[in-house]
Structure 1
Amino acid sequence: MDVTRENFGKALAKFAQAVAECDFVALDMEMTGLYETREHQPSRLDTREQRYQKLKRSVEAFGVIQVGICLFTWTTKDGIGFYEAQPFNFNVFPASSVGGVSVDEHFGCKISAFEFLAKNAFDFNKWVYQGIPFLRGDTAERIRSERTLLLTSRQRSMTPDDRHSDFAVQFEAALAEFIASKDTILRYDTTNTYQRKLIYDIVRIHDTLGTRSRVGCIEIFKGSRKTMQRHIGHKVQQFSACVDEARGFTAVIERLSAAQKPVVGHNMLLDVLHAYSKFVAQLPPTFAEFERAVAGFLPALIDTKFIIESTPDIKARYGTSNLDEIAPLLERDCAGPIRFHPHFHRNVSHNMHEAGFDAYMTGATFVRLLNLGSGGLDRAPELVLYRYLNKLYASTAEGISLNL
Structure 2
Amino acid sequence: MTPDKPRVVLGVSAGIAAYKVCELLRRLTESGHDVRVVPTRDALRFVGEPTWAALSGNPVATEVWTGVDEVPHVRLGQTADLVFVAPATADLLARAAHGLADDLLTNTLLTARCPVVFAPAMHTEMWEHPATRANVATLRERGAIVLEPASGRLTGADTGKGRLPEPAELFEAARRALARGGLPADLAGRHVVVSAGGTREPLDPVRFIGNRSSGLQGYALARTALARGARVTLVAANVALPDPAGAEVVAVGTAEEMHKAVLEAAGSADAVVMAAAVADFRPADYRESKIKKSESAGPAPIELVRNPDILAELGRRRRDGQVIVGFAAETDDVLANGRDKLARKGCDLLVVNQVGADLTFGRPDNAAVVLAADGGSTEVPRGPKEALADVVWDLVADRL
Q: TM-score surpassing 0.5?
A: no
Higher helix share: 1
From the CA coordinates, give the structure whose radius of gyration is larger.
1
Scaled by the length of structure 2, the TM-score of the pair is 0.25
If asked which structure has higher relative contact order (CA below 8 Å, sep 6+), I would say 1
Higher strand share: 2
Scaled by the length of structure 1, the TM-score of the pair is 0.25
